[in-house]
Amino acid sequence: MALRRTGVLGLLLTIILIIGGCSGKTVSEDQGYKQYGFPGPPKIGVMLGSAEKAGEMLNTAVTAGVKGLAVDQDLEYRIMSPGDLVNHTETIRFLAEDGYDLIIAAGKEFEKDLNNAAPEYPETAFAIIDGEVDRPNVLSIRIDDEEGIFLAGVLAASLTKTNLVGYIGGEMTDTRQEKAFARGVRYINLAEGKQVKVITVYAGVTKEAATNPERGKELGTRLYDVGTDVVFTAAGRLGNGLAGAAVEKRKIALTNDRQLLETMPWNVYGAVVQQTETAVYDAAVRILKEGISGGRTVYGLKEGSIDFVLSQAVAPELAEKLNTVREQVKKDQIKPYTVQIPEGMVTQLTQLPVDLNKPVGNGQTGTAKPGSGTGPSGVTGSSGTDGRGPADNGSAGGESGDSNAGGPTGEGTAGGPGNNGTGSPTGNNDTGGQPVGNDTGGDTAPGTSDPAGSGGPGTPGDEESD
């Protein structure tokens, strides 16, 4: 395979042109290569995936990466679209037998065909984007969007005023992005002592469910209606519909479409953007320079293949905070994958109603130390207005301190979690909504309304952080 050619080819081409000039004939570069039997410039073949499987965004990015490389370096390329030949295997064979040095496949749908056909052409290098093939001459490239989604969770938790944020997924069985988003929310909870919770909903059971913007609008509206004020999705075209719901409800949306930041900047505050073209460009340069390369490689935030960009509506100080977190992730000072999501922080929309004011578990903040003692008593809640819980006046307490639970008509407060407290933490209520429960080491839960709003404070035990 001709992969190292630059210096020698330049010298040979000069000789060819001199000979051609002496003979009185004009010899083009390609004609010179072929006439005198020298190999031509590197050739890259691209196989685009079907729109419904690979998606137009992936196809466009792969094409842009190869075209950019062709401009910067002396090489040829050919783009093969679905339907150009009978099937994927025939396309692979056509390009390989035509002398293409590197063949790039866009999407997971090429996995089986590459696995079968690549061994037939051991001197040809292959690469697959967003797929995985275990062959010595196939480089599997994955774009890690989870770090960008983590940043979306950081922004959502920083923006929310209701302590409720929403997540819309595409395929019900794929919870990878949900977890990345929840980790970002959890990071802010730990760093700033907040009690933000995540309400999730999925568009359907297949990937095709994420292609319908109207479904995104429907689900976004439902999430806003239950009290979330910031909702995120990175699934297909759901973000277009979510943005529409955010405008109608005067809420905030975070999506995966950079264009929405320009057209709806006061409702779409941020977008996770994949820059797959940078990964394609870099991988192609590596392969053409170093030779055939198999194995797996990941491109993410650090490599510039993923990012989370903001609209002009985001306040400068918040943008600066997000940029600081971004740089810390790049330097591995923050490791998103190590953030643990405690039980009770994430709730499916179908499981509502639940006690959304109940403090989430301690997670990484520490563990309670068994023992006796008198903890802080409940603090009297302030008067409520319409009693809609977290969307209005209910506020979640600290993870190791007092826990405030909004009652039906006011904001009652209960004593914090403890271990050996035996009292019945009730707190005082201004207008009703008396939270009750036995404190035996778990969190207290709000109870039924009591207009009198009386009751003595409980005595939860001490809690100690690691």
Q: What is the arithmetic mean of pLDDT over 148-164?
A: 97
User: pLDDT grade, residue 53 (50/70/90)?
Assistant: low
Own/partner contacts of 51-56, CB < 8 Å, gap of 24 or more, are 52/208, 52/211, 53/107, 53/108, 53/109, 53/207, 54/106, 54/107, 54/108, 54/109, 54/130, 55/107, 55/236
d(CA 354, CA 226): 11
Residue with tokens 């190292």, as numbered in its chain: 4
State residue 241's pLDDT score.
Answer: 96
In the predicted structure, residue 301 carries a pLDDT above the cut 80: yes
User: Quick one: pLDDT at residue 432?
Assistant: 36
Mean pLDDT for the stretch of residues 65-86 = 89
Q: Residue 56 — pLDDT band, cuts 50, 70, 90?
A: confident
Task: Tell me the mean pLDDT in the region 220-242.
Answer: 95
pLDDT tens for 403-441 read 333 333 333 333 333 333 333 333 333 333 333 333 333
The pLDDT, as a whole number, for residue 291 is 85
CA dist 330 and 324 (Å) reads 10
Alpha-carbon torsion angle 321, 323, 329, 333, nearest 10: -50
Q: pLDDT band at 357, cuts 50/70/90? A: low
Higher pLDDT, 440 or 250: 250
Q: For 349-374, what is the mean pLDDT?
A: 56
pLDDT band at 206 (very low <50, low <70, confident <90, very high): confident
Range name among 10-19, 28-37, 168-177 with the lowest pLDDT average: 10-19
Over residues 442-447, the mean pLDDT reads 36
* Average confidence (pLDDT) over 299-306: 93
Range of 26-40, 47-61, 62-76, 379-393 with top mean pLDDT: 62-76
- pLDDT attached to residue 362: 57
Q: What is the pLDDT of residue 10?
A: 44
Do strands 76-80 and 125-129 pair parallel, antiparallel, or not at all (unpaired)? unpaired
With a cut of 60, say whether residue 381 has pLDDT above it. no
- Residue 356 confidence class, pLDDT cut points 50, 70, 90: low
Q: How confident is the model at residue 395 (pLDDT cuts 50, 70, 90)?
A: very low
pLDDT digits (tens, 9 = 90+) for 5-16: 434 444 433 433
pLDDT of amino acid 443: 38
Model confidence at 73, pLDDT cuts 50, 70, 90, reads: confident
**Higher-scoring residue by pLDDT: 409, 128:** 128
Distances (CA, A) of 198 to 100, 216, 238, 249, 282: 49, 17, 18, 19, 37
Q: What is the pLDDT of residue 211?
A: 86
Mean pLDDT estimate for the chain? 75
Per-residue pLDDT for 448 more than 50? no
For residue 177, pLDDT over 90 is answered with yes
Q: What is the pLDDT of residue 411?
A: 36
DSSP secondary structure letter of residue 248: H
User: Is residue 49 predicted with pLDDT exceeding 70?
Assistant: yes
- Predicted confidence at residue 54, as pLDDT, reads 57
How far apart CA 296 and CA 284 sit, in angstroms, is: 14
Assign 38 a pLDDT band (cuts: 50, 70, 90): very low
